[in-house]
């Protein structure tokens, strides 16, 4: 998961768009349940070869390959009725040679479909999860929390990982940060580059929009400023539940990171298995 090209320092001073927006380098479509385009990020022409204005109120099938649409809708049919996130990797949506990774989820009556350039090497992240979990052994208590944070950092490659579960916390850090971890910040699930301005969604009237639920929704200018003060360029949030209590891994990086749906999915799998480890440790009296 390589670093994205560094942007000029002036970029971080550009105002963030008001209303619904997606992060630079990502694409977002807000669809009805029958896959009519309701909103589109204003950079969508780079992905589909059509203006964001042209897409509105049209079926997505007009703009993507029939096979790609068929595969995505089949995946969507298995998602219906859940609150999960579906992902597909290495998809060719149009005649362009570039492949994309796709994530979509249900949000009320809307379908949020996000796409990023394909990271390639599918399976690399998932392949390491089993070994990282096995390496936790049968430890419990403070050692389990510390090892969980350390191994999540090894999996993701971020500079700092903070684990919060109930009133318990653990942290694994490479080098010093200028500020404490951002566990109090309401950040997107994936933040690729805190210095890059977001891309507005069209129409810009965000009434009834579900775009704020997107994995790569954009932050506001104030959040970007606070992150810059703490030397944080990228972050990744991974939630889990253990013993009826919500927990979260918060991963942070000093450098911008390419957004990766596979890395996030692998981190989710690690977090779910880690939650099971916590419950087992509690049952054994190791808390």
Q: Where are the domains of the chain?
A: 9-117, 124-283
Max mean pLDDT range (51-60, 82-91, 220-229): 51-60
Place of tokens 């989820």: 105
124-283 domain in CATH 2.30.30.100? no
Average pLDDT, the chain: 87
Using alpha carbons only, what angle is made at residue 207 by residues 78 and 64, rounded to the nearest 5 degrees? 45
| pLDDT confidence of residue 21 | 92
Average pLDDT over residues 129-140: 89
The residue ranges of DSSP E strands in the chain, in sequence order, are: 21-22, 27-32, 37-41, 85-91, 100-107, 110-117, 160-165, 168-173, 190-191, 199-202, 234-242, 245-253
- Cα dihedral 275, 280, 285, 286, rounded to 10, equals -50
| pLDDT confidence of residue 121 | 67
* CA torsion through residues 20, 178, 147, 278, sign: negative
Phi-psi region of 227 (alpha: psi -120 to 50; beta: other; left: phi over 0): alpha
Q: Establish whether domains 9-117 and 124-283 are of one fold.
A: yes
pLDDT band at 17 (very low <50, low <70, confident <90, very high): low
Angle, helices 261-283/141-156, rounded to nearest 10 degrees: 170
pLDDT band at 20 (very low <50, low <70, confident <90, very high): confident
Position 81 pLDDT exceeds 60: no
| pLDDT confidence of residue 12 | 42
Pairing status of strand 85-91 against strand 100-107: antiparallel
| pLDDT confidence of residue 77 | 80
| pLDDT confidence of residue 256 | 96
Position 8 pLDDT exceeds 60: no
- Other Cβ atoms less than 10 A from the Cβ of 159: the count is 21
Position 11 pLDDT exceeds 60: no
Give the residue among 115, 104, 117 at the shortest CA–CA distance from 32: 104
| pLDDT confidence of residue 248 | 96
Angle, helices 124-134/261-283, rounded to nearest 10 degrees: 20
For residue range 155-204, what is the model confidence (pLDDT) as tens digits?
A: 999 999 999 999 999 999 998 777 777 666 789 999 999 999 999 999 98
For residue range 198-249, what is the model confidence (pLDDT) as tens digits?
A: 999 999 886 778 888 999 999 888 888 888 888 899 999 999 999 889 999 9
Lowest mean pLDDT among 13-17, 44-48, 160-164, 264-268: 13-17
Cβ within 8 Å of residue 148, ≥6 positions away: 136, 163, 170, 249, 274, 277
Report the percentage of the chain scoring pLDDT > 90: 63
Instruction: Give backbone dihedrals phi and psi of 246, rounded to 5 degrees, phi first.
Output: -80, 145
Q: Which residue has the higher pLDDT, 132 or 184?
A: 132
Instruction: Give backbone dihedrals phi and psi of 105, rounded to 5 degrees, phi first.
Output: -150, 160
Report the percentage of the chain scoring pLDDT > 70: 89
Cβ within 8 Å of residue 8, ≥6 positions away: none
* Architecture in CATH for domain 9-117: 2-Layer Sandwich (3.30)
Max mean pLDDT range (102-111, 225-234, 255-264): 255-264
- Do residues 94 and 65 make contact, with C-beta atoms less than 8 angstroms apart? yes
| pLDDT confidence of residue 182 | 67
Pairing status of strand 27-32 against strand 190-191: unpaired
């Amino acid at each position: 998961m390589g670093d994205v090209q560094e942007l000029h320092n002036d970029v971080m001073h550009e105002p963030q768009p008001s209303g619904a927006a997606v992060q630079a380098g990502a694409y977002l479509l807000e669809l009805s349940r029958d896959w009519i385009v309701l909103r589109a990020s204003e950079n969508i022409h780079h992905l589909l070869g059509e203006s964001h204005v042209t897409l509105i109120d049209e079926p997505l099938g007009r703009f993507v390959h029939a096979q790609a649409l068929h595969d995505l809708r089949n995946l969507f049919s298995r998602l219906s009725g859940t609150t999960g996130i579906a992902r597909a990797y290495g998809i060719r949506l149009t005649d362009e040679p570039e492949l994309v990774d796709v994530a979509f989820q249900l949000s009320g009556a809307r379908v949020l479909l996000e796409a990023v350039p394909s990271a390639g090497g599918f399976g690399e992240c998932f392949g390491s999860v089993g070994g990282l979990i096995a390496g936790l052994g049968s430890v419990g208590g403070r050692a389990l929390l510390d090892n969980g944070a350390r191994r999540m950092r090894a999996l993701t490659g971020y500079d700092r990982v903070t684990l919060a579960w109930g009133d318990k916390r653990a942290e694994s850090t490479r080098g010093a940060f200028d500020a404490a971890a951002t566990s109090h910040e309401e950040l997107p699930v994936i933040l690729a580059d805190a210095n890059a301005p977001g891309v507005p969604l069209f129409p810009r009237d965000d009434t009834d929009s579900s775009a704020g639920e997107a994995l790569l929704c954009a932050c506001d200018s104030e959040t970007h400023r606070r992150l810059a003060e703490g030397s944080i360029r990228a972050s990744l949030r991974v939630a889990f539940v253990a013993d009826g209590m919500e927990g979260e891994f918060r991963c942070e990086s000093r450098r911008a990171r390419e957004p990766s749906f596979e890395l996030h999915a692998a981190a989710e799998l690690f977090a779910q298995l880690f939650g099971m480890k916590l419950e087992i440790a509690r049952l054994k009296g190791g808390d």
